[in-house]
Chains A and B, each alone.
Chain A
Amino acid sequence: MSDATTNAMPGSLTASSPKKRLKVKGSVIVMTLYLLFLLLPIYWLLTMSLKTNTEILNEFTLWPHDFTLANYATILTDPSWYTGYINSIIYVTMNTAISLAVALPAAYAFSRYRFMGDNHLFFWLLTNRMAPPAVFALPFFQLYSSVGLFDTHIAVALAHCLFNVPLAVWILEGFMRGVPKEIDETAYIDGYSFGRFFVKIFTPLIASGIGVAAFFCFMFSWVELLLSRTLTTVDAKPISAIMTRTQGAAGIDWGVLAAAGVLTIVPGALVIYFVRNYIAKGFALGRV
């Protein structure tokens, strides 16, 4: 992808002014409708989380008439709910740390050097990002049971490396390619060792790339359901598995379920806010 300049504005170039005004109006309507379509379901989840179950089930209201935070209180005080969040956060953090630690040097190698089988290696890594987790669920279950790691956080963290490590390598490689090679060479001439150069000079230069990679590792590990559910029973059960479990029960506590949903969206929404300026770039690389 070449540079995404902000001055290409086809809208400003259309000929006559009445025509232009009409066109702008049309696109505003399209965007409003589209964003409405995107936000309505999320709004609905949010209002449900703020309603009492009586209101949800007995009257149909567009916004909470009987405003309550009880659903959130339930989640934050009931251990069977909040341990799910703690478990999720533990293995997601472990996974992000492992993925980045191994992906950083590898991405550097792919972005700077040609070596035996580099293309094939890169392709092989990518196939793991593309592989359906359903294929791996059963062997993972057997593998981690046999080494005694079943139902531990590290098992889920390692399993998620399957798709997160390739993803991190892919994203980081794209960012590292943007750093001119002269910087490396100058540093080596100045007597920096590889390790010191990497930590002191190179890492700060690709800080935004590391941020984006960390974000996507975090996200994909956070959203994954199949492997984390297969590999855990009690001690490391993640929030996503707890949420699907309640759906099996006869009487579903919709308010609490909605509140749990809202709470799992929060980390993502927070991170979007922090990386909002990189989002366009991340997508422009096509590496998501």
Chain B
Amino acid sequence: MDKTLNHKAWFLVLPVIVLVAFSAVIPLMTVVNYSVQDTFGNNQFFWVGLEWFEEMLHSERMWDALGRQLLFSAIILTIQIPLGIFVALNMPKSGFWSSFCLVMMSLPLLIPWNVVGTIWQIFGRVDIGLLGYTLDALGISYNYTQDIFAAWVTIIVMDVWHWTSLVALLAFAGLKSIPDAYYQAAKIDQASRWAIFRYIELPKMMGVLMIAILLRFMDSFMIYTEPFVVTGGGPGNATTLLSIDLVKMALGQFDLGPAAAFSIMYYLVILIISWVFYTVMTNLEKKEG
């Protein structure tokens, strides 16, 4: 749609700006202020310059958390994106069963995140959970509170359970926008199922898939609630992802300076990803008109 040039539209946006400035800009400025100072409590601050940044950049703890975070995001992307596409390809295309699948698949997306954690915390327990009990009965040792590998498997399966449907629903929307003519042409060419997927469906889904990948990456990058409820970051620090570590530092130990420096770097990374996301999205919208 053509938009009219009208600078008075600023007045319509003003309430949002005031509100978001209050809840985003002021806190961010505070974080910057804290990041260059040390405190003994009671609002007694003194200047330390870039010391906290230097400390955090050389802190093994932060790099370890970042490493775990990247590993987590990479694993869930490699599982969720192909699985989501696969599910979308197998979904009924119309009729009652299509909406049935849509509603059922939306269900995990809309469960409160801490309840997602609770569900899997219970489900995976060896004594009372269906999953843990079954695995135990099959003779597989599985204890997510003690065993690092089991803890990782649990939070990954949980995230797959929670979010694969989002990828599937986005891919499904992309598939439905492919006109019939494409399939008819493929049929005339006697294209194989794989060729149809590779040369018709995949290119047509590229746009939504890009959005799905970026959304999943970003949300997994700042995941907090679900793993916190299930493992609390343990055993040891094995599942302490970036957000969990940051909250431990900021609110658990109340280390304002280091936590603030950590926050700023975390935020800068998120800012870059958001920018890529926004640029990709607006360019897609331009292309599709």
Q: Is there a chain B Cβ closer than 8 Å to A127's Cβ?
A: yes
| Distance between Cα atoms of A135 and B24 in the complex (Å) | 10
Closest to A26 in B: B90
Contact across chains for B183 and A135 when beta carbons are under 8 A apart: no
A279 to chain B, nearest CB (A): 5
Q: Is there a chain A Cβ closer than 8 Å to B152's Cβ?
A: no
Q: Is there a chain A Cβ closer than 8 Å to B229's Cβ?
A: yes
What residues on A are CB-neighbors of B105 within 8 Å?
35, 38
Q: A30-B87, A284-B173 are in contact. Are A131 and B130 (CB under 8 A)?
A: no
Q: Is there a chain B Cβ closer than 8 Å to A50's Cβ?
A: no
Contact across chains for A8 and B175 when beta carbons are under 8 A apart: yes
Q: Is there a chain B Cβ closer than 8 Å to A10's Cβ?
A: yes
| Distance between Cα atoms of A103 and B24 in the complex (Å) | 16
| Distance between Cα atoms of A106 and B225 in the complex (Å) | 31
Interface string of A111-146 (1 = CB under 8 A from B): 111111011010111111011111111111111000
Contact across chains for A31 and B177 when beta carbons are under 8 A apart: no
8 Å CB contacts to A: which residues of B169-210?
169-170, 172-180, 183-184, 187, 193, 196, 201, 207-208
> What is the total of A-B residue contacts with beta carbons within 8 Å?
333
| Distance between Cα atoms of A109 and B3 in the complex (Å) | 10
8 Å CB contacts to A: which residues of B113-164?
113-115, 118-123, 127-131, 133, 161
Most chain A beta carbons < 10 A, residue from B90, B246, B270? B90
A sample of 25 inter-chain contacts (CB < 8 A) reads: A8-B179, A11-B93, A13-B184, A27-B89, A31-B91, A38-B105, A40-B130, A42-B119, A44-B122, A48-B122, A109-B13, A114-B5, A116-B10, A133-B224, A134-B222, A136-B27, A138-B256, A165-B16, A223-B114, A224-B113, A254-B122, A265-B115, A271-B110, A286-B211, A286-B281
B interface residues with partner A (beta carbon < 8 Å)? 1-10, 12-13, 15-17, 19-20, 22-24, 26-28, 30-31, 34, 86-87, 89-94, 99, 101-115, 118-123, 127-131, 133, 161, 165-166, 169-170, 172-180, 183-184, 187, 193, 196, 201, 207-208, 211-212, 215, 218, 221-222, 224-225, 228-229, 242-244, 246-247, 250-251, 256, 259-260, 263, 266-267, 270-271, 273-275, 277-278, 281-282, 288
